Amino acid sequence: MVVLSATSELTSPAFGRGRYALTEEPILAVDEIRLAFKGVKAIDGVSFSVGRRELFAIIGPNGAGKTSIFNVLSGVYRPQSGRVMFDGANLVGHRPHRIAAAGMARTFQNVELFSNLTVLDNLLLGRHTHLRYGTFAAIAWFGRARREELAARAAVEDIVDFLELQQWRRLPVGLLPYGVQKRVELGRALAMQPKLLLLDEPVAGMNLEETEDMARFILDIRDELNIPMILVEHDMGLVMDLADRVMVLDFGVPITTGVPAEVQRNPEVIRAYLGEVAQN
């Protein structure tokens, strides 16, 4: 597995002021969001921002509010208060499909693909948010419809190459090993040409080899495709190796946010989270 040292990158001239340079407007700025379910405070005043080249991780014990944050960002839940500025616009109150079309793509804890469709068709469905032709043009198959369809197919083939899915491209997704299905799901999110990618436990249930492959693809997405990401993941080794910064949540409240080396040393984090893991 590639091991990144976020601290050395921050001081490296190659990254200037770091991946979350304050001079650059962040792709995402979350301001004081709160969400409660019948008195249960799932998110209790959370603020953070994500830089345009950053891999930002959110960790915390079960029930800390990680998935709820993803659900607020992607429009599944509407927070009772707070703002979610995405590329300069407040997303609160927008429906999930509008947020996806604005450039926020998401993968899920459980594989959510059409298992009877091939890898290529699943990826083409991800691309669907970018097709702008109407029904008449689609039926007549001319002009813009044809051009856009050809562009979509070319983009999907690029993703197949990038994620090394060639050998499975014409097979139904349901027949593929779990680790490959998770990769196809990642591909479908990439097909949306996202400005920000939300990865919800991308290596959950994977064996070591599949985890290492996924870690490599995540780094390539950041470094070659220049797509910023938010990673929610229970695999601490993966988070500490990959993330530029980590936010630690406990009971819906951030305990700390910083580069992995700092976060790992924070006594409150050790007590609230890492300590708990160490005892298990």
Ligand X SMILES: Nc1ncnc2c1ncn2[C@@H]1O[C@H](COP(=O)(O)OP(=O)(O)OP(=O)(O)O)[C@@H](O)[C@H]1O
Residues that bind ligand X (CB under 6 A): 37, 40, 42, 60, 62-68
**Nearer residue to ligand X within complex by CB, 73 or 173:** 73
**Nearer residue to ligand X within complex by CB, 23 or 62:** 62
**Nearer residue to ligand X within complex by CB, 62 or 226:** 62
Q: How far is the CB of 239 from ligand X (least distance, A)?
A: 13
**Nearer residue to ligand X within complex by CB, 68 or 74:** 68
**Nearer residue to ligand X within complex by CB, 68 or 107:** 68
Considering only CA atoms, which of 163, 211, 144 is closest in space to residue 1? 211
Q: How far is the CB of 95 from ligand X (least distance, A)?
A: 18
Amino acid found at 219: L
What is the C-alpha separation between 253 and 140, in angstroms, rounded? Answer: 54
**Nearer residue to ligand X within complex by CB, 40 or 154:** 40
Q: How far is the CB of 202 from ligand X (least distance, A)?
A: 13
CB 74 within 8 A of CB 198: yes
Q: How far is the CB of 222 from ligand X (least distance, A)?
A: 23
Q: Enumerate the H helices of the chain as residue ranges.
A: 6-11, 66-73, 96-101, 119-127, 135-140, 143-162, 178-191, 208-223, 236-242, 260-265, 267-269, 275-279
Considering only CA atoms, which of 244, 234, 179, 230 is closest in space to residue 209? 179
Q: How far is the CB of 40 from ligand X (least distance, A)?
A: 5
What is the C-alpha separation between 200 and 109, in angstroms, rounded? Answer: 5
Q: How far is the CB of 67 from ligand X (least distance, A)?
A: 3
What is the C-alpha separation between 87 and 101, in angstroms, rounded? Answer: 13
What is the C-alpha separation between 30 and 84, in angstroms, rounded? Answer: 5
Q: Which residues of 237-252 are buried (b: 16+ CB within 10 A; e: fewer)?
A: ebbbbbbbbbbbbbeb
Q: How far is the CB of 232 from ligand X (least distance, A)?
A: 7
Beta strand pairing call for 104-107 and 196-200? parallel
**Nearer residue to ligand X within complex by CB, 82 or 126:** 82
Count of Cβ atoms closer than 10 Å to residue 202 Cβ = 25
